[in-house]
Amino acid sequence: MISIQINTESTTTSSTTTTSVTTSTPPSSLCANTTSSAFLYKNQFIYSPTSQTYAAGMLNNQFGVYKAYGYQNVTATAIWNAKQKPTTYEAYFVAQGDRNLVVYAASVGTVLWSANTASRVYGEPFCLNMLDTGILMYVDGSGSTIWQTNIEPNG
């Protein structure tokens, strides 16, 4: 479950009220802009929106698209994997403010994989979307494709 915090200001007092809202819909997108990067760490994923059949994220220090059986039930069956350099360090994925998708070895900052999409001119925000088809697609603010896995599983 995802917990969302909503802060509201009261006009008659100076106190802030915090309300927690819980939803069972897992994230299907990871978005960044030129001033804010977005990260996926160990066992963090975005899911195909309708059935959560596919998940993209970090499994065993490997960034990829994996078969899933619903939210938080990701299998080791890889549909697509980034062609990363091997590492003994914990790895993480980042959609960077420069528009690049990168996997880093956390302790040493070594680049293990990159989509090489940095410095291209795209509209903001730019979002990595896990589609119901099993394709992982990176799009700009106008919906134009920056990068995608180009692999659609056979069910």
CATH number at residue 117: 2.90.10.10
Instruction: Give the residue with greater pLDDT, 131 vs 88.
Output: 131
Q: What is the pLDDT of residue 72?
A: 87
Residue 112's pLDDT band (boundaries 50, 70, 90)?
A: very high
Q: Quickly list DSSP for the chain.
A: -EEEEEEEE-SSSS-EEEEEEEE-----EEEEBTTB-EEE-BT-EEE-TTT--EEEEEETTEEEEEEESSTT-EEEEEEEE--PPP-SS-EEEEE-TTS-EEEEETTTTEEEEE---TT---PSPEEEEE-TTS-EEEE-TTS-EEEE-------
- Domain range spanning residue 121? 29-148
Q: Which of 41-45, 97-101, 118-122 bottoms out in mean pLDDT, i.e. has the lowest? A: 118-122
Is 154 contained in some domain? no
pLDDT tens digits for 18-39? 444 445 678 999 999 988 999 9
Residue 121's pLDDT band (boundaries 50, 70, 90)?
A: low
Residue 150: how many other CB atoms lie within 10 Å:
9
Is 56 contained in some domain? yes
List, in order, residues 6 or more apart from 90 with CB less than 8 Å away: 42, 61, 105, 106, 107
pLDDT tens digits for 38-89? 999 999 999 999 989 999 999 999 999 999 998 889 999 999 999 998 888 8
Q: pTM to 2 decimals?
A: 0.79
Query: Is residue 6's pLDDT more than 70?
Result: no
Domain count, the chain: 1
Q: What is the pLDDT of residue 83?
A: 92
Is 34 contained in some domain? yes
